């Protein structure tokens, strides 16, 4: 029995027979691709991948460590992903998940007003590598499709036989450290400076890490100088990423900076329908509409719900109807929002806006305080179950009429002040996706 099989056997002991039969039994371990520090398991479809990642990946990592004596990063992935690309030139970084997800394609990406600019930019880059916008910088909130779009371009390049590196700042950093330690820096530089396309996800994590910024700067210069395409994503505009060297910040803006906004209802519906099609889940129109209206903006949350719906309906052998969906969503939302109290929200807003929580709750009238208070009140109203009187009390206002007056004012601002609207959706997004 190989180590992967041992891990699965051990896991069998820890879960119910139904769970085992339904999910774990379908996993296969890739002996050849795996190593002491990297374990790959294949699952037959995306839902099983999701389900196992959510529910068992920690357990699997733990068992792997216990049984093999070494700490490995565990990858659960679709069977055909790796097979399909055996023949292709991909630089695989054997740590974390550095593979391009083949279902992150342009075809699977639903376009609407919120993301059409970013979509058009990435599409154009995918057709003219290194020639139009270099670098292309995409920014926006969590779960809005940045990684998906970036990888869609990566998949196109890869199919053309180009050498594509997709990595996170963390992986880049780890790789760097490893090569420094092994005194193999030439190999590091060879790898990152000689590729055709470099995709770096979530570059806001470069913030404050000077050593790696330096190395990244030189990588950037080498690639850009050689006309190689660079695509970057972040959760905010380069100007707003603190702790970033000036020269990097300015280079990030050299090509094109494109933002992604939270999807409108229409787009959300299209995305849900697409995900259902990909995962072969059948949902009626009213269920799709319901999910689209209840979930604010984070598309990843939508995927979680679809996989949960599917899994429950299979485990319990029931059809998915609206009632059932509502129950599942209630749990999901409660789970993810349970920890969001007015304190948590106010502290989060305060930190982001560089102000004290006590000031937000004070009667202060300065512009900054009023602005922060409005944002906190609005988000508390949206994300917690607190009543108007409770809100009034918390924010030191006279009574619920004062709060409802403020909320009216805020809604007006949301209509007319784009910056205000964006700030609210950015913070809401972060709060609902970090839990
Ligand atoms: P981000 O990198 O911005 O946090 P991701 O690219 O990881 O977000 O997207 C989260 C999930 O939502 C992914 O599975 C992605 O496929 C899906 N998604 C986001 N936007 C869209 C879209 N417009 N059409 C289809 N799927 C989308
Ligand atoms: Mg991402």
Is residue 85 scored above 60 in pLDDT?
Answer: no
CA–centroid distance, residue 200 to ligand 2 (Å): 10
Closest C-alpha to 73, from 85, 64, 82 = 64
pLDDT, the chain, mean: 87
Whether 261 lines ligand 1, by a CB cut-off of 6 Å, is no
pLDDT band at 403 (very low <50, low <70, confident <90, very high): very high
Q: Say if residues 22 and 315 touch (Cβ distance below 8 Å).
A: yes
Is residue 96 scored above 70 in pLDDT?
Answer: no
Q: What is the CA radius of gyration of the chain?
A: 23
For the purposes of burial, counting CB atoms within 10 Å of the CB of 346, is it exposed (0-12), middle (13-18) or buried (19 or more)?
A: buried
Which two tokens mark 301? 């949350």
Is residue 84 scored above 50 in pLDDT?
Answer: no
User: Residue of the nearest CA to atom 16 in ligand 1?
Assistant: 148
Closest C-alpha to 350, from 413, 297, 395, 384 = 395
User: Residue of the nearest CA to atom 21 in ligand 1?
Assistant: 145
Is residue 435 scored above 50 in pLDDT?
Answer: no
331 versus 248: which is more confidently predicted? Answer: 248
User: Residue of the nearest CA to atom 1 in ligand 1?
Assistant: 143
CA–centroid distance, residue 143 to ligand 2 (Å): 7
Closest C-alpha to 179, from 190, 169, 168 = 190
**Which tens digits make up the pLDDT trace of 125-134?**
999 999 899 9
Which two tokens mark 285? 């129109």
How far apart CA 39 and CA 56 sit, in angstroms, is 14
The long-range contacts involving 272-281, CB below 8 angstroms and separated by at least 24 positions, are: 272/302, 272/306, 274/108, 274/110, 275/302, 275/303, 275/306, 276/306, 278/46, 278/103, 278/108, 279/45, 279/46, 279/47, 279/306, 279/307, 279/310, 280/45, 281/47, 281/306, 281/309, 281/310, 281/320
Whether 148 lines ligand 1, by a CB cut-off of 6 Å, is yes
- The average pLDDT across 291-314 equals 82
- Whether the model clears a pTM of 0.85, i.e. scores above it, the answer is no
Which two tokens mark 198? 């470099």
CA–centroid distance, residue 300 to ligand 1 (Å): 6
Is residue 205 scored above 60 in pLDDT?
Answer: yes
Ligand 1 atom nearest 151 alpha carbon: 6
Say what the pLDDT of residue 86 is.
40
Length of the chain: 435
Say what the pLDDT of residue 129 is.
92
Question: Computed from CA positions of residues 435, 150, 116, 273, in that sequence, does the dihedral angle turn out positive or negative?
Answer: negative
How far apart CA 200 and CA 256 sit, in angstroms, is 15
- The average pLDDT across 257-277 equals 92
Whether 300 lines ligand 1, by a CB cut-off of 6 Å, is yes
Number of helices and strands in the chain (H, E): 20, 8
- What lies within 8 Å, CB to CB, of 302 at 6+ separation is 268, 271, 272, 275, 291, 292, 295
> In b/e form, how buried is each residue of 410-429, taking b as 16+ CB within 10 angstroms?
beebbeeeeebebbbbbbbb
Whether 307 lines ligand 1, by a CB cut-off of 6 Å, is no
Say what the pLDDT of residue 238 is.
95
Whether 430 lines ligand 1, by a CB cut-off of 6 Å, is no
Q: Which of 71-85, 221-235, 408-422 has the highest mean pLDDT?
A: 221-235
């Amino acid at each position: 029995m190989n180590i992967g099989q041992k891990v699965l056997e051990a896991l069998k002991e820890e879960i119910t027979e139904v769970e085992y039969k339904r999910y774990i039994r379908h996993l296969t371990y890739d002996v050849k691709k795996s190593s002491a520090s990297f374990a790959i398991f294949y699952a037959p479809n995306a839902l099983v991948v999701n389900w196992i990642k959510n529910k068992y990946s920690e357990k699997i990592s733990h068992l792997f460590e216990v049984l093999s004596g070494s700490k490995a990063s565990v990858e659960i992935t679709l069977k055909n992903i790796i097979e399909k690309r055996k023949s292709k030139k991909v630089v695989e970084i054997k740590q974390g998940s550095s593979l391009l997800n083949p279902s992150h394609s342009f075809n699977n990406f639903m376009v609407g007003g919120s993301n059409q600019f970013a979509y058009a930019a990435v599409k154009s880059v995918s057709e003219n590598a290194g020639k139009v916008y270099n670098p292309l910088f995409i920014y926006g909130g969590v779960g809005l499709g940045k990684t998906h779009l970036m990888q869609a371009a990566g998949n196109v390049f890869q199919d053309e036989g180009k050498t594509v590196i997709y990595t996170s700042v963390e992986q880049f950093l780890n790789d760097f450290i490893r090569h420094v330690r092994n005194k193999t820096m030439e190999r590091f530089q060879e790898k990152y400076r000689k590729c055709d396309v470099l995709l770096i996800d979530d570059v806001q994590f470069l913030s404050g890490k000077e050593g790696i910024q330096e190395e990244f700067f030189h990588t950037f210069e080498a690639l850009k100088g050689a006309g190689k395409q660079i695509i970057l994503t972040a959760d905010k505009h380069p100007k707003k990423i603190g702790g970033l060297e000036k020269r990097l910040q300015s280079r990030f803006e050299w090509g094109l900076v494109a933002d992604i906004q939270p999807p409108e209802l229409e787009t959300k519906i299209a995305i849900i329908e697409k995900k259902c099609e990909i995962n072969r889940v059948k949902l009626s129109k009213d269920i799709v509409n319901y999910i689209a209206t209840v979930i604010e903006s984070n598309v990843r949350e939508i995927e979680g719900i679809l996989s949960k719906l599917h899994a429950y309906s299979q485990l319990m052998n029931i059809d998915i109807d609206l009632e059932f969906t509502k129950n599942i969503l209630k749990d999901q939302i409660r789970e993810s929002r349970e920890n969001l109290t007015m304190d948590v929200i106010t502290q989060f807003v305060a930190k982001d806006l560089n102000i004290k929580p006590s000031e937000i709750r004070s009667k202060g009238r300065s512009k900054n305080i009023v602005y922060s208070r409005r944002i906190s009140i609005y988000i508390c109203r949206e994300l917690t179950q607190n009543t108007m009187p409770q809100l009034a009390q918390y924010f030191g206002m006279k009574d619920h009429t004062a709060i409802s007056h403020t909320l009216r004012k805020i809604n007006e601002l949301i209509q007319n002040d784009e910056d205000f609207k964006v700030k609210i959706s950015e913070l809401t997004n972060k709060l609902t996706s970090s839990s």
